[in-house]
Amino acid sequence: METFTKTLCGLEVRAALFGKEDAKRTILFFNGIGARLEVAEEFADHLPDCRIVTFDVPGVGGSPASKAPYRPVLLSKMAIELLDDLGIDKVDVFGVSWGGAIAQQFVKDNQDRCNTMTLAATTAGMVMVPGHPSALLKMVTPKRYLDPNYMLEVAPSIYGGDIGDNILKLEKFAKMAMGGSTRGYLYQLLAGYGWTSWLWLPQIKIPALILMGNDDKIVPPVNGRMLHSRLPNSQLEYLDCGHMFMMTKPEKTTQLMSDFYAQH
């Protein structure tokens, strides 16, 4: 992993490249809410033929918080500036959870720069079928990213699936995700308020892979069917897990991605 600092849209951000420079594909990765770019490292190991570029959004990890709230379109502009600065032309876009919204926005804005889009445990925004109220209430604050013990305590009720049986992986994730500011987390929440891709999803013609967890407490699996119904060139796959299947089942997740890439 190579990390570096860039100024994108007037904001200083911490970015990273994983993998070989001569890799067959380059993945532009958008992370979940509050999570640092280190979270991508483990699943990157399972995609040896891919190079991954990502960045900490303002207020997360090594990126200072912005002075004012922002919208997903700003992060889309930041991402294209990063690709241009690195000399990267076309990418396979990959967004997880909150980052899935940013991935959709990026593809809408830059479809000519995208080969495929993969959406994991995400929704079309404000038209989503919401998750369990108790899980959503625990996500209003970034406490789980600031207190590893709290993360271990609430993770099973928030994320669902067998996350409670993967304590070592959960501890590792908690350490990788820690960092950032409360203001940055709040701005991430506000970025998604009122946003939806529902009306323009049919305009996205590139191949899309939708991955959902059957026992996701935050993003119920029905949201995957909703995305699938709006994306004209999409494939929907379910994993026997909760919201964190990328962490608990990295081999299965990346195998589905590799198979999808092989088709396109």
Which residues, in sequence order, are CB contacts of 10 under 8 Å at separation 6+? none
Distance of CA 53 to the CA centre of its chain: 12
Distance of CA 24 to the CA centre of its chain: 21
- Alpha-carbon span 201 to 104, nearest angstrom: 8
DSSP 125: B
Judge contact between 114 and 93, C-beta under 8 A: yes
- Alpha-carbon span 239 to 242, nearest angstrom: 8
97 is annotated as an active-site residue: yes
- Active-site entry in 63, 66, 76, 97: 97
Judge contact between 55 and 110, C-beta under 8 A: no
DSSP 160: -
- Alpha-carbon span 255 to 257, nearest angstrom: 5
Give whole-number Cα distances, 64 to 44, 57, 74, 78, 83, in Å: 25, 9, 15, 14, 20
Active-site positions? 97
